[in-house]
Chain A
Amino acid sequence: MEASADNGLKIVVVGGFGVGKTTMIHSVSEIRPLSTEETITRAGETVDDVSAVPGKSQTTVAFDFGRITLSARTVLYLFGAPGQERFWYLWDRLFTGALGAVVLVDTRRIDDSWYAIDRLERLGTPFIVARNDFGGPAHPLEQVRDALDLAPHIPLVDCDARSRDSGKRVLITLVEHIKSLYLAEDPQVIERVRAARSPYAAEGAAGTPQEQVTAPAVTAPAPELTQ
């Protein structure tokens, strides 16, 4: 990694056991996927003092991750997270600050994915769904979309987790999806901000005297120091 690197980003790959998360991370990562463990913490973290019994309170679970250096300053990490309900405690840390998620689906065990999709929708994390090709009879993607009860705007793609190109395409699809969500949302946000600031909005229109807003004093930029 470049010495100047200062930006670590993450994308999380979720899916049931054996769906190909580690394989996909392996195929696009520049390092062999590493594995580390996360400890389960109690909900009453600030209340319970469990320091005397660390062996009791810390049960661990391993998760895999890989690294992609995007530029001299930016590094992308891919984390594999199990999608089943019993692993949700892992999600908080893995998803905090994540750009988005890829839900990897094996159509032979589609119910493993329901939990994950439901949870991602509730978290508001942008995601796409990728069907990993296991060489079995392929259902049309529309059928998969119906089975997953997936909203029409969420991309659903086919992939081969073993192929670097395929994995790369899945990640590009995800980031483009995030970008389009952002662009779709943007005009509304701008409109709302503008409405809130407008002197004719709400109270202003009702005749309440507006408080005089003075522009902050503009300070001249400090003169450059020459040595």
Chain B
Amino acid sequence: MSRPGRDDAPDRLYTVTQGRSRSMPGTPFDLVTLVVAECDAVPGMQSEHAAILRLAERPTAVAEVAAELRLPVSITKILLSDLLAEGRVSARHPRRAAIAGRPDPDILEQVLVGLRNL
């Protein structure tokens, strides 16, 4: 699959999302939201949707899905919103890393322990 470059394949992106250029307001996906497939790909499914379901057999971040599909993040989010609406994927939201603008000390401690163990 060739990489859609800066402006070289707008038609393809247009087709992939059936003309939509952004996901619906309030889309729950952040770059690090973990996506998990809730079902297998089925024949006849749009190939990008099927590819997402295969990628997300294990929790996979939105950014990773986008990179693997070689699609811009915003296009990926539209595809993910479709699958979420159909119940084919679920989104695991980052536990709140910050409470009222201040980082959660438990999460910071976890990060420190993890980094020291690298």
A binds B: yes
Interface residues of A (CB under 8 A from B): 1-3, 5-10, 28, 34-39, 41, 45-46, 50-52, 54-60, 65, 67-71, 74-77, 79, 93-94, 96-97, 99, 124, 126, 164, 168, 171-172, 175-176, 178-179, 182, 185-186, 189
A30 and chain B: residue at smallest CB distance: B118
User: Do the beta carbons of B112 and A172 come within 8 Å of each other?
Assistant: yes
A interface secondary structure, majority? mixed
Given contacts A55-B7, A55-B11, contact A39 B108 (CB under 8 A): no
Q: Report whether A10 and B31 are in contact in the complex, using a CB–CB cutoff of 8 Å.
A: yes
**Is B59's CB under 8 angstroms from A9's CB?**
no
Q: Chain B residues with Cβ under 8 A from A36's Cβ?
A: 63, 66-67, 70-73, 76
Give the residue name and chain of the A residue nearest to B25 (CB).
A46
A-B pairs with lowest CB-CB distance, top 3: A55-B10, A70-B114, A8-B32
Contact A38 B108 (CB under 8 A): no
A56 to B73 alpha-carbon distance, docked (Å) = 17
Given contact pairs A93-B31, A179-B105, A179-B108, A60 touches B6 in the complex (Cβ within 8 A): yes
Q: Using a Cβ–Cβ cut-off of 8 Å, how many residues does chain B contribute to the interface with A?
A: 53
- Give B66-105 as 1s and 0s: 1 = Cβ < 8 Å from A's Cβ atoms: 1110111111100000000000000010110110011101
Task: Say if the beta carbon of B21 comes within 8 Å of chain A.
Answer: yes
B116 partner, pick from A10, A172, A182, beta carbons under 8 A: A172
B interface residue numbers (CB < 8 A to A): 6-7, 10-11, 13-14, 17, 19-22, 25, 30-34, 58-61, 63-64, 66-68, 70-76, 92, 94-95, 97-98, 101-103, 105, 107-116, 118
User: When A38-B73, A55-B11, A65-B63 are in contact, do A9 and B92 touch as well, CB less than 8 Å?
Assistant: no
Sample of 8 A–B contacts (CB below 8 Å): A1-B59, A3-B59, A36-B76, A54-B17, A68-B118, A74-B110, A76-B111, A164-B118
